Structure 1
Amino acid sequence: MITASIVTYHNNKEELKKAIYSFLNTDLEVKLYISDNSSNKDIKQLCSDSRIEYIYNNINLGFGKAHNIVIEKAMKEGSKYHLILNPDIYFNNGVIENLTKYMENNKDVGLVMPRVLYPNGDIQRLCKLLPTPMNLIGRKFIPIKSLLEKLDYKYEMQFTDYNTEMEVPYLSGCFMFIRTSIFKEVGCFDDNIFMYLEDTDLSRRINEKYKTMYYPKVTVYHKFEKGSFKNKKLLIYHIKSAIYYFNKWGWFFDKKRKEINKEILNKNNYKKI
């Protein structure tokens, strides 16, 4: 069985309907969990399909913690693969089938992310190196555009063509197709991270034991908005998460991060600009 979880918080219902339909539009055995952090049950009306289980949390638990409730259920119910899915993602029939086949053929892969496009067809640069403090905190306060572009060129792996399958140490939490059994080895999302960087942390833990892969032969669409760049409250969440993340893994002296990023850069023929 393939399971998926969508965490909701007063989301746009039309966008959510597209995400739900995208996942359920398959002949495979699937089950979708809606983990609702909203202050009401308005979203429940969209969960009439027998393959959907609605979970009302009655409080905003945050992204990772709300997904963890589902992951625990999925493991108990014998899920083979689990999809972390954002409510503003949509895709065509065949995506789940192709990713399942990819995982079946690559037993050393624990996590895979497809090509992610904006609705207009532009690529989203969601393949990233393990972040440094400059990538996550410093860049928000740097007014020099040329320096920001140089940082992102390396951090977002813009030096690759994004058309080639490659191992990536940090894959976006908007669409994470994961071998469910590995949660028993590496754990779920870190409950201490309310929002932002929970995907970084989980990707890194998975990458310590399995390959974490970008697979561009499969495409999904993501109506992505950088909320922390527009909303002061979300920016505070982002900064708090970054501080927690670096306290956990290391700020400027993170030897493992340096080794992993160096290996990825070498594999992909990185050249400075």
Structure 2
Amino acid sequence: MSKFSVGLVVYKTNVTELERLFELLAREQCLSQMFVFDNGCDEQLKHEVQKRGWCYLSCGDNIGFGAAHNRILEKLTVEHGEFHWIINPDLEWDISPTSEMMAYLMAHPKCGAVMPDVLNPDGSRQYLAKSLPTPMILLGRRFFASSKKMQQRIQQYEMRDQSYAEPFESPLISGCCFFTRQALLREVNGFDERYFLYLEDYDLCRQVWRTGNQLMVLPTVQVKHGHGQASYQFGKVLWLHICSACKYFNRWGWLNDVDGRSRG
């Protein structure tokens, strides 16, 4: 039977907010190991993780989302199975998506990673499958979303005309629920740690595509995600998003895409 590991990064997350996720993961028969990297230093969280036989990791400081997941990757071995699932703490599901995600990857060798249909808590779709961004799209979504012209651009970027009747390929899928192969994560050297927070999953998707692998969305399985959109508020988090966007476009092109790919 195929196995998978799970990587979860948290920062000042109340343990009570993780109880539902922990309960769901404890029911997963194919789960080989759960890795929780604490970007803080929460003794209660450490206790809750270790009492379940899971692996708690921390360096006592906030090293960022991608860097923390890379520390988890360093701990993975072949004994943990072929697959690795990167998730956010505010994820839950009624029916486990893992068996279908594993089955799809096993049946499609050129598929590098899959994401289920991600819903809001009220059941509406989050549209996390996206086309490649432009600087104007990222800027417009944040500051000019009420503009009719921008709304049309956003719909295209968020692939809102895409049918969710069957699996489809997407240029970008979200790091909130990213099911992939351990070997592929190693091939692309994990996340680029220059991104402290935000767009590190976009960069990872670009690297996966460069290996010749597809990124797929599986609408037949669904999860619910809190999706707080903290970067839509003014302050440090918004500044981090802007910094990450600059790093992304410095690498992948401001006016034209460095790979010659079309953008939303």
Give the TM-score, by structure 1 length: 0.89
Indicate the residue corresponding to 2:89 in structure 1: 87
Per-residue CA deviation, residues 158-184 of structure 1 (Å, 9 max, x unaligned), is 111333311001101100001111123
Distance 1:27 1:243, change over 3 A: same
Q: Is the 8 A contact 1:38 1:59 kept in 2?
A: yes
Per-residue CA deviation, residues 53-81 of structure 1 (Å, 9 max, x unaligned), is 00122001111000110012114655310
For structure 1, which segment, 123-132 or 20-29, has the greater mean C-alpha deviation from structure 2 after superposition? 20-29
Q: How many residues align?
A: 261
- Paired with 1:223 and 1:54, the residues of 2 have a C-alpha distance of 23
Q: Is the 8 A contact 2:50 2:56 kept in 1?
A: no
**Residue identity in the other structure for 2:252:** W
Establish whether residue 102 from structure 1 lines up as the match of residue 104 from structure 2. Answer: yes
Q: Equivalent residues in 2 for 1:190-229 (5 A)?
A: 190-208=192-210, 209-229=212-232
Q: What is the CA distance between 1:258 and its match in structure 2?
A: 3.1
Q: What is the CA distance between 1:135 and its match in structure 2?
A: 1.6
- Paired with 2:115 and 2:122, the residues of 1 have a C-alpha distance of 20
**Residue identity in the other structure for 2:174:** S
Counterpart of 1:184 (choices 169, 186, 190) is 186
- Paired with 1:76 and 1:161, the residues of 2 have a C-alpha distance of 37
Q: Is the 8 A contact 1:65 1:189 kept in 2?
A: yes
Aligned residues: percent identity?
33
Unaligned runs of at least 5 residues, structure 1: 263-273
Q: Is the 8 A contact 1:80 1:181 kept in 2?
A: yes
Counterpart of 1:3 (choices 5, 8, 25) is 5
Per-residue CA deviation, residues 174-227 of structure 1 (Å, 9 max, x unaligned), is 000011111232220001100000000001111222010000111111011110
Q: What is the CA distance between 1:28 and its match in structure 2?
A: 1.5
Distance 1:28 1:132, change over 3 A: same
Q: Is the 8 A contact 1:17 1:46 kept in 2?
A: no
Q: Secondary structure at the match of 1:214?
A: strand
**Residue identity in the other structure for 2:7:** S
When the two chains are superposed, the root-mean-square deviation of aligned CA atoms in Å is 1.9
Counterpart of 1:239 (choices 234, 237, 242) is 242
Indicate the residue corresponding to 1:126 in structure 2: 128
Q: Is the 8 A contact 2:197 2:244 kept in 1?
A: yes
Q: Is the 8 A contact 1:189 1:202 kept in 2?
A: yes
Indicate the residue corresponding to 2:43 in structure 1: 41
Indicate the residue corresponding to 1:12 in structure 2: 14
**Residue identity in the other structure for 2:246:** I
**Residue identity in the other structure for 2:221:** V
- Paired with 1:233 and 1:94, the residues of 2 have a C-alpha distance of 35
- Paired with 2:247 and 2:88, the residues of 1 have a C-alpha distance of 23
